[in-house]
Amino acid sequence: MLMEQIDPRREAATRIIETSRLLRSLVEQRLKPYGMTRAQFATLSRLERQDGLAQHELAESLEVQPIAMVRLVDQLSADDLVERRADPADRRCNRLFLTGAGRERLKELADFKSSLGSELFEGIGEDAIRQVLVTLGQLHSNIKSIQSADAATVKLKKASL
């Protein structure tokens, strides 16, 4: 009896999906003592790197539905961690900025980020981590290309109806 060959691409995709789910769950669990959700943390972290993003840009970069982003920013704004400012070039658009309290909260979470990173990559060398980053970057690019092609195909089919 021949054993079925396991497709390494399919196995890798399955492992990435499973690992992503586990990581999201772990981060959510570890953030509870800080009174934060993973989505709130991701929002603050993105604004730390790119303060002043438009609300729709932030939603797109975090792959969150715009209505969910509105609720998320409402909560962060109520907690005085983020502020909305009108975009001077487009009155329909809000730009998001970390407040002083938001920056302080991120400083409080610095140990969280550092210790989680150390735990996650325990026993994995720098070269392996760099290779994972290259591979994940290529996968990300491939997925974006596939999504663009799929969207173009759907648009073309709708136009021909």
Q: Cα 8 to chain center, whole Å?
A: 26
pTM, 2 dp: 0.79
Dihedral sign, Cα of residue 37, residue 42, residue 43, residue 45 = positive
Provide the phi-psi class of 63: left if phi over 0, else alpha when psi is between -120 and 50, else beta: left
Average pLDDT over every residue of 21-36: 94
Q: What is the pLDDT of residues 68-108, one digit of tens each?
A: 999 999 999 999 999 999 988 888 888 999 999 999 999 99
Whether 1 shows a pLDDT value over 70: the answer reads: no
| Residue 65 amino acid letter | Q
Which class is 20-122 in CATH? mainly alpha
The chain-wide mean pLDDT, for the chain, equals 92
Domains of the chain, by residue range, sit at 20-122, 124-161
